[in-house]
Amino acid sequence: MKIIKTFFTLALILPLTLMAQSKATVTIQNNSALNRKETLIAIKWATVLSSYPQIDTANFVVVNPNTKKQIPFQLEHKGKAAIQNLLVQVDIKAKSSIILSIQKGKPEVFAAKIYARYVPERLDDFAWENDKIAFRAYGKALEKTEGDAYGYDVWVKRTNKLVLNDRYKRNDYHIDHGDGLDYYHVGYTLGAGNMAPYVNDTIRYSGNYHHWKVLDNGPLRSTFQLLYDSWNAGSIKVTAVKTISLDAGSQLNRIETVYTFNDTKPMPVVVGIIRREKAGVIGLNEQQGIMSYWEPTFEKDGTTAVGTILSTPAEKMWVNKEQLLTRTSVRNNEPIVYYSGAAWDKAGQITNSKQWQDYLDHFNQEIQNPLIVSVK
């Protein structure tokens, strides 16, 4: 009798165990008063495996049980062989939650919304874009040439398609062929939100990046590293590694910089935005660490907006003849994270300075109020 009872108990438990291994349920909770749109969520892969240990990485889907529709996803590696996170892009209203199911199935083919690459055919550019905006950084081959520049460049877009390769292939990206162009001037400034040491009240620009490494490349997030050889920042010898991530749907990059220098004291640094000769709309919010610039309109090319958000306290913000600047401090070999990016009025989504400031404020509030993710 005891044997029969034990067998009956196991018969009940085993199907439940197998069922638990056939999927994972993800709950995403938004406790803030912010509506979140096109938000990229990182779900730790270890938590997915703990609920769904038999998952086949080539044969699973992420589904919204209410709509029965698949959700685009990406397996994020962060440059490592093992998967680090499952990335999903969702909309979620304020004070609400959504549930997603990770289960066996054939994933749909979703168009990539993000792309980054080294561009050897254009003097070592490194360029990256998403479905909103595009950027580039300048490499070794451009150093000490007539076209050299220190900061980040912006390529404006009015299409959700990826355009970098086409623009480089045409070699005519300073003219708008219907999807946008490059009319942003950087010169010997920090351009659209680059960072540099600020020693003895002077910006100590590095050379251009000399090495690069792609850690992830879409379809929802691209992450790469730019490595800078050592240079003299006043009396301090410095090297830098900048890890840049851009998410689909975002106007802003996440930039994590690690400066290495031989000093136990913090080193002052500045984030900068190039200023134009004609009047624009400038916003300096030291308390929130937000710096914004709605540039003057460039005739037929439209208006570019640029902004930065610090995750460390802003010690000072000011404007000189060339740039908007925010000063903060870093320690040797400790990462500092900030956000920088841009928008274009001709894209039709952010068309005036108030909308740009509202976007930056909302983005900053999202950073301060992360979503809560649970997996079971």
94 and 71, same structural domain?
yes
Among residues 110, 143, 164, the one where a domain terminates is: 110
Task: Give the rounded distance of the alpha carbon of 73 from its chain centre.
Answer: 16
DSSP string, 9-70: HHHHHHHHHHHHTTEEEEEEEE-SS--EEEEEEEEEHHHHHHH-TT--TTSEEEEETTTTEE
Q: Are residues 259 and 349 in the same domain?
A: yes
Residue that is last in its domain, among 110, 138, 158 = 110
Residue 78 lies in a domain: yes
Torsion of CA 62, 67, 129, 363, to 10 degrees: -100
Q: What is the CATH number of the domain that holds 93?
A: 2.60.40.1180
| 88/236 same-domain check | no
At which residue do the structure tokens 């709309």 appear? Answer: 281
Give the phi and the psi of residue 219 in degrees, each rounded to 5.
-85, -5
| In-domain check, residue 376 | no
User: Mean pLDDT across the stretch 82-97?
Assistant: 97
Q: Are 312 and 219 within one domain?
A: yes
CA 29/CA 27 separation, integer angstroms = 6
Same domain, 51 and 120: no
Summarize the confidence of residues 109-136 as an average pLDDT.
97
pLDDT tens-digit map of 157-176: 999 999 999 999 999 999 99
Q: Are strands 323-330 and 316-319 parallel, antiparallel or unpaired?
A: antiparallel
The whole-angstrom separation of Cα 209 and Cα 256 is 15
Query: Considering the domain boundaries, does residue 10 fall inside one?
Result: no
- The pLDDT > 70 percentage for the chain reads 94
Same domain? 280 vs 186: yes
Provide the number of structural domains found in the chain. 2
Structural domain contains residue 130:
yes
Quick check: helix, strand or coil at residue 266? coil
The pLDDT of residue 9: 44
Asked if residue 219 has a cis previous peptide bond (ω within 30° of 0), the answer is yes
Same domain, 99 and 129: no
| 83 and 140 within one domain | no
Give the whole-angstrom CA distance, residue 183 versus residue 153.
Answer: 9
Domain identity same for 177 and 246: yes
Structure tokens at 152: 């980040």
Integer-rounded Cα Rg, in Å, for the chain is: 23
User: How far apart (Å, rounded) are the C-alpha atoms in residues 251 and 309?
Assistant: 12
Q: What are 225-264's pLDDT values in tens digits?
A: 999 999 999 989 999 999 999 999 999 999 999 999 999 9
Distance CA 373, CA 157 (A): 33
Domain final position from 110, 128, 158: 110
pLDDT in tens, 306-342: 999 999 999 999 999 999 999 999 999 999 999 999 9
Q: Are 104 and 121 members of one domain?
A: no
In a domain, 194, yes or no: yes
276 has a pLDDT exceeding 70 = yes
Q: Is residue 344 part of a domain?
A: yes
Q: Which residue has the higher pLDDT, 146 or 362?
A: 362
Tell me the residue range of the domain where 58 lies. Answer: 16-110
What token pair was written down for 293?
A: 């610039």
Separation between Cα atoms, residue 209 and residue 186, nearest integer Å: 16
For residue 21, what pLDDT is reported?
62
Is 8 within a domain?
Answer: no
Please state, as a whole number, how many other Cβ atoms lie within 10 Å of the Cβ of residue 272. 27
- In the structure, what pLDDT confidence band is assigned to residue 361 with cuts at 50, 70 and 90? very high
Residues 208, 244, single domain; the answer is yes
Say whether both 70 and 211 belong to one domain. no
pTM of structure: 0.93
Q: How far apart are the first and last CA of the chain?
A: 36
Q: Please report the pLDDT score of residue 22 as a whole number.
A: 87
pLDDT of 76: 98
Length of the chain: 376
Q: Is residue 85 part of a domain?
A: yes
